[in-house]
Amino acid sequence: MYGNEINFRFTADNGLCVNFQSFLTQKPFRFYWQAMQDSELVLISHTHIHSLYSSSHPWEDFGGLSAEHVCKQVDERVEMLLFLSPEDRYQHLITIRSQLLNQVSQFHLSSFFGVKPESLSRLRKDYYAGNFLTKVNVPPCSPFASL
């Protein structure tokens, strides 16, 4: 799939974007972040964040909680791709963050679901025709929530 655009996650307003593997190893990662709407970013260097961690308990807590949250989201994303059908992934999105359907292009959503755009069109058609038979149990922390 080298050279294809793959959407791994969407981040809500005031969300955190971090690649912990790159952060911890200090090596470049193989993907990039793309803002799909006007955004404000705060960039903190590896050295500066560790300085904040060592000098401030609240920053140290923030680092630990952020790492836990992102790890949970990555695990849930992997589980979603491995164990949910495309229909269940679509229903999951509607349950958690239906506003994404109006904010993100069909191209990006289909990539996120791991299906072709025409398959996403069929999913949408089937969903709105009432053809989905299952209900998805939605975990409290979700790859759609505030990644």
Of 111, 118, 70, which Cα lies nearest the Cα of 89? 111
Is the pLDDT confidence value at 137 over 60? no
Its pTM stands at 0.71
Q: What's the per-residue H, E or C state across the chain?
A: CCCCCCCCCCCCCCCCCCCHHHHHHCCCCCCCCCCCCCCCCCCCCHHHHHHHHHHCHHHHHHHHHHHHHHHHHHHHHHHHHHHCCHHHHHHHHHHHHCCHHHHCCHHHHHHHHCCCHHHHHHHHHHHHCCCCCCCCCCCCCCCCCCC
Is the pLDDT confidence value at 138 over 60? no
The domains of the chain are located at 20-128
The pLDDT mean for the chain works out to 82
Is the pLDDT confidence value at 56 over 90? yes
Tens digits of residue pLDDT in 23-35: 889 998 887 788 8
What length does the chain have?
A: 147
User: Across residues 54-59, what is the average pLDDT?
Assistant: 95
